[in-house]
Amino acid sequence: MPPTENPRPDAAGKVPFAMRDPLHVPRERYHDPAFYALEKQNLWPRIWQMACRLEEIPRPGDWVEYEICDQSILVVRQADHSIKAFYNTCPHRATQLCKGAGRARQIVCPFHGWRWNLDGTNSFVYGAQGFHPDSLRPDDIRLTECRVDTWGACVWINMDPDARPLREALSPAAAHLDAVGVENMRVWWWKEVVLNANWKLAQEAFFEGYHVMQTHPQLTMGAGSDYPADTVEHLTFDNGHSLFRGREGTNYGTERTSADEFLERARVLWEGQDAMTLERDLHVFEGIRDKVSPDEDFPPAAIAALYEYARGARIPMPPPGEGLRLWGGEVFLFPNYLMLPMYANSLAYRVRPHNDDPEWCRFEIWSLTTYPEGQEPGRARLEGRFATDDAENWGVIPRQDMSNIERQQRGLHARSYRGSRLSTEWERAISNMHEELDRYLGR
Ligand code: FES
Ligand SMILES: [Fe+2]
């Protein structure tokens, strides 16, 4: 009997609907207000989280606001190109100083016009003579800093001054992404969708390749339910992280695939999401189609052509090797950031609660690529928020994924439903995430 309806707290007596075993996730973890409140209190203020991409703030004075639950953090590029993060609140009467993104020489409060330098020191108090001097001590009216660090071409923040260093927290998953060159990737496009689903439920849809057969039939190349469930291996790590990747012996370079099948799959990926495989890659592959004899294995020739093209175009490609097994796979960085690398490209997802409601989330998708040296794109901006069924803005692959997520959230509420029953092979990353979550919630 799955212990999914069991609201008993964990051993420490703090976590309701705690994980009891790795195969069952109590449904309340996806909608219960008290569980959500505990995440808000014990997870988000203590964890490193991806606040923005570096190319969102390329120049001194560039700032972006990062919101998580009821907290707002301002990330600011400094005059010396370093980065600082501040709580986005006025020390006078609490007005949020900045909304969205912008560029400024000074941060100015929109209410009474107090001002701050980019480093957070106060530079102006209007009518200062009307305040008691003790109210305006410089250290008290500077902006309060939040911890900040960078990795993977992103800025990460942590509200906990005692948290361990970022790299330690992202270990060991980040090293797998280093091997595929995520540091060199920049935004190709960036969009978001608001989903009527819990933030964890939404990201779990990308933790496994198990759903491909039914959700994305076009990716099985006609195999249907004969499509093997074990083409990828799923690994779970400490700290809640996980990945799936090609099994040894099925990675690019050794898998025997015809040119037709390889090109068809590349085209379906490009047309279906304009991510992971881009038009540029498809052109390279199609360019060698007639140069590879039918007896020859096509993928190694295609990948060799891609490397040759990248060399000529001065596009830094990841070094060939073990890391390339991640092409077509996924890496999850606890608590809410995922990457799906391929060639010199990647998809990246960030999922956050929305409107302080456990049943809504804000889901952002980046298509990343590596640009030729010296041709970096300009400042990255969110293109907009688009509905789940907006076929102009979402390719068929993300629409297929999103359609199931909201149905799942509805299904959770069925009176008959007792909680998920996970595969030991394909879905262990889900419980691994929940187990790490309980470590935070139980503290
Ligand atoms: S609230 Fe910001 S200056 Fe008054
Ligand atoms: Fe999917």
pLDDT tens column, 278-333: 999 999 999 999 999 888 889 999 999 999 999 999 999 998 888 889 999 999 99
pTM summary value: 0.95
What is the bridge-based pairing of β-strands 242-246 and 330-333?
Answer: antiparallel
Q: Show me where the domains of the chain are located.
A: 49-168, 179-412
Q: Whose CA is nearest to atom 1 of ligand 1?
A: 93
pLDDT at 2: 41
CB 71 within 8 A of CB 86: no
How far is residue 443's CA from residue 441's CA, in Å, rounded to a whole number?
6
How far is residue 247's CA from residue 232's CA, in Å, rounded to a whole number?
5
Report the candidate in 104, 150, 147 with the shortest Cα–Cα distance to residue 123.
104
pLDDT at 222: 83
CB 306 within 8 A of CB 327: no
Q: Give pLDDT < 50 ranges for the chain.
A: 1-9, 11, 251, 253-254
Structure tokens at 122: 């106060």
Mutate which of 112, 115, 125 for ligand 1? The one with the most ligand atoms within 8 Å of its CB, which is 112
How far is residue 244's CA from residue 235's CA, in Å, rounded to a whole number?
6
Mutate which of 74, 88, 90 for ligand 1? The one with the most ligand atoms within 8 Å of its CB, which is 90
Q: Ligand 2 centre from 397 Cα, in Å?
A: 7
Q: Which ligand is nearest to the CA of 399?
A: 2
> CA torsion, points 186, 190, 196, 198, in degrees to nearest 10?
10
Considering the four listed CATH numbers 1.10.260, 1.10.287, 1.10.3470, 3.90.380, the one that applies to the domain covering 179-412 is 3.90.380
3-state class (DSSP) for residue 166: helix
pLDDT at 263: 93
Closest ligand 1 atom to Cα of 95: 1
Protein residues with C-beta less than 5 angstroms from the ion ligand 2: 401
Check pocket membership of 92 for ligand 1, CB cut-off 6 A.
yes
Structure tokens at 142: 């500077």
pLDDT at 219: 86
pLDDT at 249: 66
Q: Whose CA is nearest to atom 3 of ligand 1?
A: 112
Check pocket membership of 53 for ligand 1, CB cut-off 6 A.
no
Structure tokens at 305: 């052509």
How far is residue 44's CA from residue 404's CA, in Å, rounded to a whole number?
26
Q: Whose CA is nearest to atom 4 of ligand 1?
A: 112
Report the candidate in 348, 344, 341 with the shortest Cα–Cα distance to residue 366.
348
Closest ligand 1 atom to Cα of 93: 1
3-state class (DSSP) for residue 357: strand
Check pocket membership of 109 for ligand 1, CB cut-off 6 A.
yes
What is the bridge-based pairing of β-strands 232-236 and 186-195?
Answer: unpaired
pLDDT at 256: 66
CB 343 within 8 A of CB 327: yes
Do 49-168 and 179-412 agree at the fold level? no
Q: Ligand 1 centre from 138 Cα, in Å?
A: 15
Check pocket membership of 112 for ligand 1, CB cut-off 6 A.
yes
How far is residue 338's CA from residue 240's CA, in Å, rounded to a whole number?
12
In this predicted model, what pLDDT tens digit does every residue of 349-404 receive, in sequence order?
A: 999 999 999 999 999 999 999 999 999 999 999 999 999 999 999 999 999 999 99
Check pocket membership of 114 for ligand 1, CB cut-off 6 A.
yes
Q: Ligand 1 centre from 61 Cα, in Å?
A: 21
How far is residue 337's CA from residue 148's CA, in Å, rounded to a whole number?
16
Class of domain 49-168: mainly beta
Q: Ligand 1 centre from 86 Cα, in Å?
A: 16
